[in-house]
Amino acid sequence: MPTTKLIDQVLSPPPAHMVGDGFRVHNFFPSGTDLEMQRMSPFFLLDYNAKWNVLPSNSPRGVGVHPHRGLETVTIAYKGKIAHHDSTGMADIIGEGEVQWMTAGGGILHKEYHEAEFSKKGGIMQMVQLWVNLSAKNKLTPAAYQPITRDKMGKFLLPNQGGTVEVIAGEYSNVKGPAKTFSPIELYNIRLNASGEAIFSLPSGYNTAILVIEGSVTINESQVAPVDHFVLFKNEGEVINIKASEESIVLLLSGEPINEPIAARGPFLMNTMDEIKAAFDDYYNGKFGYLAD
């Protein structure tokens, strides 16, 4: 019989820092907390740009051209609009509830910044960026990009007008998400109405957490998790109950760990330091393509 997946920690947002000049983020892992590099594998990094009022600017703020190898970046917009360009020629803009899923693989250059019209008007920016590790066999896979709009997501309507589970990756109640992943991942936006409730069953071996984007929820009928807090679950058990005390949005992330060595330096995520050195060499020698500033 399935058992409850108990809470390990409820984390307040760490002090914010700037990424480029466009994103004011709280880094929940791997630094800024006691979460180690492998604790949320296959997810390696979570930066959360809590609601931040961006002043109008004719020059869009953001992060300039930079490389990646050995990982995927997953950017979810909740407020504001985010533009993306990369060295494969892909250019895209996402708005509320939409996702940019970029596979760096063997190497890519990209830049991320506020969309031009949003930048001119200013407004509230709120977003999440995840780094997803790739296993050794997939580290050098060709770079790729998946734009995931809300109309493409799987949607499950919760009973009793409780809200909606938007499936970005994985499957919930036979509803599948559109994202193609290299390892088993469950990634959902859970949009709950006041008193709305959702139950999730996830493998005991998966690393699992939620981030409260809006509102406040009660986990397993016992622990309150307020807005902007990160809830890490123990691996034992399978079932999680989430109930909203007010209209709420919760990001759930769960995945099968990649049990391989990690070597991380700057924008590269590899298995060994020799591979890190090779990544820097290839980048400096122009092997990641070209992208204008």
How far apart CA 169 and CA 114 sit, in angstroms, is 25
Task: Kindly report the backbone phi and psi dihedral angles of residue 152, in degrees, each rounded to the nearest multiple of 5, phi listed first.
Answer: -90, -15
Question: Would you place residue 266 in the very low, low, confident or very high pLDDT band (cuts 50, 70, 90)?
Answer: very high
Q: Is the pLDDT of residue 243 over 90?
A: yes
Distance CA 178, CA 147 (A): 10
Residue 267: is the preceding peptide bond cis (ω within 30°)? no
* Residue 120: other Cβ atoms inside 10 A: 13
CB contact at 8 A, 83 and 92: yes
Average pLDDT over residues 122-148: 98
Q: How many CA atoms lie within 13 A of 207 on its CB side?
A: 17
d(CA 192, CA 248): 5
Whole-number pLDDT of residue 116: 97
Q: Report whether pLDDT(60) > 60.
A: yes
CB count within 10 Å of CB 65 equals: 15
Percent residues over pLDDT 90 in the chain: 97
Give the pLDDT score at 35: 75
Q: Is residue 29 scored above 80 in pLDDT?
A: yes
pLDDT in tens, 209-225: 999 999 999 999 999 99
How far is Cα 253 from Cα 163, in angstroms, rounded to an integer? Answer: 18
Q: How confident is the model at residue 36 (pLDDT cuts 50, 70, 90)?
A: confident
What number is the average pLDDT over the span 19-24? 97
- Domain residue spans in the chain? 7-255
pLDDT at 293: 85
At 34 the pLDDT is 58
Class of domain 7-255: mainly beta
Q: Which residues contact 179 (CB under 8 A, 6 or more apart)?
A: 99, 101, 146, 148, 168, 169, 185, 187
pLDDT for 73 beyond 60:
yes
Could you write out the three-class secondary structure of 171-235?
Answer: EECCEECCCCCCCCEEEEEEEECCCCEEEEECCCCCEEEEEEEECEEEECCCEEEECCCEEEECC
**Tokens read off for 281:** 């060499």
Mean predicted confidence (pLDDT) in 39-45:
97
pTM: 0.97
Region 104-132: mean pLDDT is 98
CA 177 vs CA 148, 213, 292: distances in Å: 10, 20, 33
Q: Where are the beta strands (DSSP E) in 30-137?
A: 43-54, 62-68, 71-79, 82-86, 91-94, 99-103, 108-114, 123-133
Distance CA 223, CA 11 (A): 12
Average pLDDT over residues 132-158: 97
**Residue 142 clears pLDDT 80, i.e. is over it:** yes
Specify the pLDDT at position 38.
Answer: 92
**pLDDT tier at 33 (50, 70, 90 boundaries)?**
low
Looking at every residue in the chain, the average pLDDT score rounds to 96
Measure the CA–CA gap between 100 and 93, rounded to whole angstroms: 8
pLDDT per residue as tens digits for the range 146-195:
999 999 999 999 999 999 999 999 999 999 999 999 999 999 999 999 99
Question: Is the CA virtual torsion 261, 14, 17, 190 positive or negative?
Answer: positive
